[in-house]
Amino acid sequence: EVQLVESGGGVVQPGGSLRLSCAASGFTFSRNWMTWVRQAPGKGLEWVANIKQDGSEKWYVDSVKGRFAISRDNAQNSLYLQMNSLRADDTAVYYCARDDPAAGPLDVWGQGTTVTVSS
């Protein structure tokens, strides 16, 4: 069964840092672009960042550039999101998702991990 499981969410003060992880199983992780998507409370989905299979390309939405860093470890079948200089508007559920090269982006999603930025 294809599965993505996020972890690492929590409560952090403004200006703080947090590292999210996403454990993948049931497919060949190294063959897929991977993506982070977030959803603020009561709001819509926001595409955050993605990373190429070998990590050589990374793309970010403007609102997180210079603060967030996406990375992966293909040997560990894991995706990461390092979040620095966190702000209140970063409060959201963060989902990791797989991009299927034969179909489209975000064909499989994790259940999400919640990040709350508050003093």
End-to-end CA distance of the chain: 40
Of 12-20, 67-75, 78-86, 105-113: span binding another protein (CB under 8 A): 105-113
Given 29, 60, 80, 94, the residue binding another protein (CB under 8 A): 60
- The amino acid that residue 111 corresponds to is Q
| The only residue of 29, 50, 51, 80 in contact with another protein, by rule CB under 8 A | 50
Which positions from 26 to 45 touch another protein by CB under 8 A, shown as an x/- string? Answer: ---------x-x------xx
Q: How far is Cα 116 from Cα 75, in angstroms, rounded to an integer? A: 30
104 binds another protein (CB under 8 A): yes
Supply φ then ψ for residue 118, to 5 degrees.
-160, 145
Task: State yes or no: residue 81 binds another protein (CB under 8 A).
Answer: no
In the bound state with another protein, the residue whose beta carbon lies nearer, of 72 and 98, is 98
Tell me how far apart the alpha carbons of residues 101 and 116 are, in angstroms, rounded to a whole number: 33
Structure-token pair, residue 96: 């990791």
Backbone angles phi, psi at 10, to 5 degrees: 170, -165
Task: State the residues that interact with another protein by CB under 8 A.
Answer: 35, 37, 44-47, 50, 59-62, 95, 100, 103-112
